[in-house]
Amino acid sequence: MRIFGPTAIILGLASLLSEPGSAWAQDATAIQKSVGDLRVALDTVWVLVAGFLVFWMHAGFAMLEAGLCRAKNTIAILYKNFGVVAVSSIAFWIIGFALMFGDGNTLFGTKGLFVMGTDNSPAMGDAYKGVFDALNWTGIPLMAKFFFQLVFAATAATIVSGCVAERIHFSSFMIFSFVLVAIIYPIQGHWIWGGGWLAKLGFLDFAGSTVVHSVGGWAGLAGIIVLGPRMGKYEAAGRVTPIPGHNMPLVTLGGFILWLGWFGFNPGSTMGTSDPSLIAHIAVTTNLAAAAGVISSSLTSRFMFGKADLSMSVNGALAGLVAITAPCAFVTPAVSILIGAFAGFIVCLSVTFFDNRKIDDPVGALSVHLVCGIFGTLALGLFAVPALTPGGSAGLFYGGGYAFLIKQAIGVVAVGAFTFTLSLILWKVVKAIIGMRVDPEDENTGLDLAEHGMEAYPR
Amino acid sequence: MRIFGPTAIILGLASLLSEPGSAWAQDATAIQKSVGDLRVALDTVWVLVAGFLVFWMHAGFAMLEAGLCRAKNTIAILYKNFGVVAVSSIAFWIIGFALMFGDGNTLFGTKGLFVMGTDNSPAMGDAYKGVFDALNWTGIPLMAKFFFQLVFAATAATIVSGCVAERIHFSSFMIFSFVLVAIIYPIQGHWIWGGGWLAKLGFLDFAGSTVVHSVGGWAGLAGIIVLGPRMGKYEAAGRVTPIPGHNMPLVTLGGFILWLGWFGFNPGSTMGTSDPSLIAHIAVTTNLAAAAGVISSSLTSRFMFGKADLSMSVNGALAGLVAITAPCAFVTPAVSILIGAFAGFIVCLSVTFFDNRKIDDPVGALSVHLVCGIFGTLALGLFAVPALTPGGSAGLFYGGGYAFLIKQAIGVVAVGAFTFTLSLILWKVVKAIIGMRVDPEDENTGLDLAEHGMEAYPR
Amino acid sequence: MRIFGPTAIILGLASLLSEPGSAWAQDATAIQKSVGDLRVALDTVWVLVAGFLVFWMHAGFAMLEAGLCRAKNTIAILYKNFGVVAVSSIAFWIIGFALMFGDGNTLFGTKGLFVMGTDNSPAMGDAYKGVFDALNWTGIPLMAKFFFQLVFAATAATIVSGCVAERIHFSSFMIFSFVLVAIIYPIQGHWIWGGGWLAKLGFLDFAGSTVVHSVGGWAGLAGIIVLGPRMGKYEAAGRVTPIPGHNMPLVTLGGFILWLGWFGFNPGSTMGTSDPSLIAHIAVTTNLAAAAGVISSSLTSRFMFGKADLSMSVNGALAGLVAITAPCAFVTPAVSILIGAFAGFIVCLSVTFFDNRKIDDPVGALSVHLVCGIFGTLALGLFAVPALTPGGSAGLFYGGGYAFLIKQAIGVVAVGAFTFTLSLILWKVVKAIIGMRVDPEDENTGLDLAEHGMEAYPR
């Protein structure tokens, strides 16, 4: 099945001893083609392997969220996390990818439904001829571009599942997820990664603190507001009733899976290997931010609650990871520690903040993905090293003044307003048509028996 | 330890300003060798990383099957899944690889015991001189070929463990597995992937719907028939007593692991990177089939049983994955959705079908691997796109008429008859010599205490 | 964002038809640079992906150790395994990497704090100019070198967590781990991998049977001695009271994760792809040793205890893996089976050996990492194939006499004496300043409630 390889080379060498001029030119052409083919192959392998790691994050979300819910809602949350990958895959294939990366206007793409249309990938730059110009900076086959972006899209939807856990109908969540991945996520993604207006403005988000994480958070916040808190959470006068998760090994496993998956998420967002130093740099900043997030959240939880809290530390790792996602390529390792540490700190405060406002977020997804997604995007506005950013954008502390920071803030606000508003409308439509919240007795029984007729741990 | 690299290049450049003709030829030779070396290195990295993902599937089988069994048989099923990797590794190293890929006749290989013998891999095609000609189309070192094929072989054996779960002796299963991987699996594998008679016929199975999955299923079916159903399963008059698994997070984790591992199984079966578009295409068809399997099995289970059933959806993902394994490289993305969706549908019917025949398959392995393995192989006969297949084989719906479909059917029948018959004989021999089924009181107590003297979850 | 690629090549071809001599030289230079860049990119991708797999081992340790402890100490052990990655990341970034790989003397490095200083990686060999000369044999960016070595360093610390489980204060362990990774681990690592005195002597340890595993074991042994056994373990007259773990699926999952991770640990220690045959060879020896360890430990446990013991078999796999870590690149596949099988045998004996001496090692970490780490290092002295080793070192059974074996023994003793002594002092300092062992009532209650105020499996 393979045509080129060592054999071809050996055979090719036979013809080398002819006249120098033209043979040399032919030979150089052939060699350069081989080298170019190899580059495409290597870039494709890297992007796909990184995409596999991002896919794996869905297992991490499933385990983390299942562990942080009660046993009686375990199947329900597992099923949402498993099913959302499926629904997202189909939605992004049909239309999401086209809206996000298809040629169109500065607001959304208008070409490329079903990932079809003219395309001569892996040709790059001006040599690229096709309907997905926004991705012409990466020299990989179209299907590799689609696969990598698909696993990102599904991540945004998965984040929502944690916010609405333990009280939402299975089908309501699935329908929302389909539309989120088909329409809402790709439109704002087009603004930033698809050559839209925020990209033109100079807004930067390397791997998706805003595009993926805060968007998942905004959509989830809208869901929480429409759904209301779980029964019993805020009913005791003047205080919050903790509802502990049921399985800490699952939570920890989920944390490890997500940390691992982020090595695909951030370094893989290079979508190529032309700058291996950058890939390694991102792996290091990503890891240091996660590490700092663990340490600061452990210390903060010990100070705030008297005991080092494992679930807070797992969320601290994720907080650091979410926060470093936008800046990972553009800041120094030392700054990545700062960003991760601060994220680990604010995630603890944020949990209390939301609880005080009776915004019931069972797994802390808002604190992790929304709050730290915003923080990370703005932190890039503070710490961007001009030598590392495209166009030389500089953070406030790196000589850039407020100019770049303001662009980052505009992006945060615009994406937030768009996503939250559309999500709120969508949730209300779903609620009106098929309902959204399970009956109180079903919520009391648990969604596993009520919605799925099974228990997660039958005798 | 490393000899070649940027340093070598820089040093090499010093000698470039000599006379054009001969120096150019020398230089071109050197560069072409470097490029060829790089290609081998990249292909090796890709195949090994894909192999690691396939290895990881064993963890997926272990978690899935443990979750679908009762708590009292957890250690027994975990141990079988863990041990079978070990036994398979030794069996395939000693003789399996030689029977499957060694030079020989159209029925089995006769050379290459202990993965030894003449071999100048990574030389390819006609330049390859050695005893493993069937794999001369891939330009990677022999040990990489062996490693990748080994993790496939072990998969076939692992499938069996689910079929015979909760009632078989540990050692009986291990002995069967050894012979399966040493003899039965490699012989039929030789027919298809080792240059044997089915390969010559034009039968196609890109990554093993038949070679791996249906073979595991046939071997398991033979085991079920010899063993009989679990106590209590079919004893109530006129109805089937469901025996639910004990741990749904394990089932879901297993499902995610397997889905991830399939990105090694299918795309990795390119065994090289000469066609990166093909690798990406396979990643996409694989994922879409799994996604469609989840959705169709959820809808089907909701329709058949009244509730969306998570374990059915996990099996639906696997059904889609098994079915797309043969055709993944040869069909379009849209068709992969069709194939996956239909697999997710028939896996639900199949579970009922086997139960009605009192064929007790505790984890649904027959429905997933046997039924969908057959379906996927035949589906390739329906949907193969001639531009994508070697030799231009075309499916029934792609202008090929019945010719190719009939070849696929011949392969299905031949492999099925061979594997089932030999497995049946082997199980009966095992039963006669060391016994096969645990005592009723041990089955009642659970295999964990009876066979291993431990509990999975001691207090 | 990407500059080079197929486009650049196609553009570059336009200038090819000029006069042969100088144009050829220019062109050859450009092509050779492209090839060199590709090699760096491929090497970086391989080392990072291998590093991700090693990172993943931390999830394996967490699951394995949690499963082998009692439910009441689950959070405590999970938290230690999760937190130690964070603490190690910071410690190794600040000083560990500098002590281990920075230029200095034969005892430790003195340059490169915070992974900073002169460095022109990926330049190699004599072309390398910088403060990390010990790693100039690998042509990857500095941050890739750091990342890969970091995940190794954290592994050593994680091993300790198993030894001291179920009775140590969280903060005492974390402080010990910080110093272990900051100071103790890198100093002995400098001796062997940093160009220090053992490297100059000719001691070989390909991937760390000694550097990582036995060091983790020695540090853990010191901790066990200072801590004493768990309450109830050796209090019954004349016999050992077994304290079974609480969750065998976690143990098995951990075993699979570690086995998978080892495919990064050992093959990745090539830190490049210049010899793809070697990478594949190592993948095979690693897998065969693990397989043999499973089989021999199963048989041994069946013989010793009457029943095949799953936890012993998981430890048997790890024993084989630890033992093959030093020799994986330097021995034949057949010998790797021998080494793995013997490791699986001695791990069973060793568990009894330590229990008889009242050395309470809850998860068997000493038997796996210390005993088999020593064994593997010495086994290399027996079985090293001179054609495979740098400098042609030959094992006792391969014509080398005792010369090389004695060097290996010197390394084992020196590293053991150094690590054990410093660890003992460090543990005693930690004990004196902040205490080390939890109160008896807290130990009885369980560390989860006592130290972290939570239960792993709340109702």
What does the DSSP assignment read for B340-391? Answer: HHHHHHHHHHHHHHHHHTT---TT-HIIIIIIHHHHHHHHHHHH--TTTSGG
Residue B39 has pLDDT above 60, yes or no: yes
Instruction: Inspect the interface and report whether the beta carbons of B31 and C36 lie closer than 8 Å.
Output: no
List the single residue in C with minimal CA-CA distance to B87: C291
CA gap A264, A286 in Å, rounded: 10
Q: What percent of chain C has pLDDT over 70?
A: 95
Instruction: Please tell me whether residue B363 adopts helix, strand or coil conformation.
Output: coil
Q: What residues have CB less than 8 Å from C334, skipping those under 6 apart?
A: B114
Chain B CB contacts of A146 below 8 Å: 280, 284
User: Cis ω on the peptide bond leading into residue B122 (within 30° of 0)?
Assistant: yes
Q: How confident is the model at residue B21 (pLDDT cuts 50, 70, 90)?
A: low
Residue found under tokens 């072990």: B154
Burial class (CB in 10 A: 0-12, 13-18, 19+), C19: exposed
Instruction: Inspect the interface and report whether the beta carbons of A260 and C56 lie closer than 8 Å.
Output: yes
At C155, list the tokens.
């592994």
Please state the separation of Cα A116 from the chain's center in Å: 24
pLDDT of residue C56: 98
Instruction: Inspect the interface and report whether the beta carbons of A42 and B42 lie closer than 8 Å.
Output: yes
Instruction: Inspect the interface and report whether the beta carbons of C38 and B38 lie closer than 8 Å.
Output: yes
pLDDT of residue C47: 98
Least Cα separation, residue B64 to chain C (angstroms):
11
- Note whether B159 and B216 are within 8 A (CB): yes
Instruction: Inspect the interface and report whether the beta carbons of A147 and B284 lie closer than 8 Å.
Output: yes
CB pairs A-C closer than 8 Å: 238
List the single residue in A with minimal CA-CA distance to B252: A78
Burial class (CB in 10 A: 0-12, 13-18, 19+), B418: middle
How crowded is residue C425: how many other Cβ atoms within 10 Å of its Cβ? 12
Q: What is the mean pLDDT of residues C153-173?
A: 97
Chain B CB contacts of C313 below 8 Å: 79, 82-83
Chain B CB contacts of C137 below 8 Å: 1-2
Predicted confidence (pLDDT) per residue in B110-139, tens digit:
999 999 999 999 999 999 999 999 999 999
Instruction: Inspect the interface and report whether the beta carbons of A256 and C51 lie closer than 8 Å.
Output: no
- Note whether B440 and B231 are within 8 A (CB): yes
CA gap B21, A16 in Å, rounded: 10
Best residue of A18, A31, A32, A48 to probe chain B, by most B CBs closer than 10 Å:
A48
Query: In this complex, which of C6, C48, C250 lies closest to A122 when CB atoms are compared?
Result: C6
Instruction: Inspect the interface and report whether the beta carbons of A7 and B295 lie closer than 8 Å.
Output: no
Helix, strand, coil shares of chain A, percent, nearest 5, are 70, 0, 25
Predicted confidence (pLDDT) per residue in C433-457, tens digit:
999 999 999 999 999 999 999 999 9
Predicted confidence (pLDDT) per residue in C395-447, tens digit:
999 999 999 999 999 999 999 999 999 999 999 999 999 999 999 999 999 99
Nearest CA among A194, A204, A207 for reference residue A134:
A194
Indicate the Cα dihedral angle A246, A247, A252, A253, nearest 10°. Answer: -130
Q: What is the mean pLDDT of residues B416-441?
A: 97
- Residue A388 phi/psi, 5° resolution? -100, -20
Predicted confidence (pLDDT) per residue in B255-282, tens digit:
999 999 999 999 999 999 999 999 999 9
Q: What percent of chain B has pLDDT over 70?
A: 95
- Note whether A113 and A17 are within 8 A (CB): no
Chain A CB contacts of C27 below 8 Å: 28
Q: How confident is the model at residue B238 (pLDDT cuts 50, 70, 90)?
A: confident
pLDDT of residue C115: 97
List the single residue in C with minimal CA-CA distance to A135: C1
**Sign of torsion over alpha carbons B48, B49, B51, B55:** positive
One pLDDT digit (tens) per residue for chain A, 459 residues:
333 333 333 333 333 333 455 677 788 889 999 999 999 999 999 999 999 999 999 999 999 999 999 999 999 999 999 999 999 999 999 999 999 999 999 999 999 999 999 999 999 999 999 999 999 999 999 999 999 999 999 999 999 999 999 999 999 999 999 999 999 999 999 999 999 999 999 999 999 999 999 999 999 999 999 999 999 999 888 789 999 999 999 999 999 999 999 999 999 999 999 999 999 999 999 999 999 999 999 999 999 989 999 999 999 999 999 999 999 999 999 999 999 999 999 999 999 999 999 999 999 999 999 999 999 999 999 999 999 999 999 999 999 999 999 999 999 999 999 999 999 999 999 999 999 999 999 999 999 999 999 999 987
pLDDT of residue C27: 83
Residue found under tokens 């899935």: B64
Whole-model pTM: value is 0.95
Nearest CA among A434, A173, A454, A446 for reference residue B307:
A454
pLDDT of residue C21: 57
Q: Which of A28-37, B339-348, C83-92, C322-331 is predicted with the least confidence, judged by mean pLDDT?
A: A28-37
Residue B23 has pLDDT above 80, yes or no: no
List the single residue in B with minimal CA-CA distance to A169: B308
Query: In this complex, which of A5, A85, A122 lies closest to B39 when CB atoms are compared?
Result: A5
Could you give the ipTM of this predicted complex?
0.94
Chain C CB contacts of B143 below 8 Å: 277, 280-281, 283-284, 333
Predicted confidence (pLDDT) per residue in C19-49, tens digit:
455 677 788 889 999 999 999 999 999 999 9
- Note whether C433 and C176 are within 8 A (CB): no
pLDDT of residue C270: 98
Chain B CB contacts of A1 below 8 Å: 137, 270, 274-275, 390
Best residue of A70, A124, A140, A301 to probe chain C, by most C CBs closer than 10 Å:
A124
Query: In this complex, which of A140, A150, A457 lies closest to B247 when CB atoms are compared?
Result: A457
Burial class (CB in 10 A: 0-12, 13-18, 19+), B184: buried
Instruction: Inspect the interface and report whether the beta carbons of B307 and A451 lie closer than 8 Å.
Output: yes
Average of per-residue pLDDT values in chain B? 94
Instruction: Inspect the interface and report whether the beta carbons of B7 and C127 lie closer than 8 Å.
Output: yes
Query: In this complex, which of B260, B263, B313 lies closest to A79 when CB atoms are compared?
Result: B313
Instruction: Inspect the interface and report whether the beta carbons of C45 and B45 lie closer than 8 Å.
Output: yes
List the single residue in C with minimal CA-CA distance to B14: C29
Predicted confidence (pLDDT) per residue in C88-145, tens digit:
999 999 999 999 999 999 999 999 999 999 999 999 999 999 999 999 999 999 999 9
Chain C CB contacts of B459 below 8 Å: 246
Instruction: Inspect the interface and report whether the beta carbons of B452 and C308 lie closer than 8 Å.
Output: yes
- Note whether C298 and C340 are within 8 A (CB): no
pLDDT of residue B19: 45
Chain A CB contacts of C66 below 8 Å: 249, 252
- What are residue A168's DSSP bridge partners? A437
Least Cα separation, residue C193 to chain B (angstroms):
13
Instruction: Inspect the interface and report whether the beta carbons of A45 and B292 lie closer than 8 Å.
Output: no
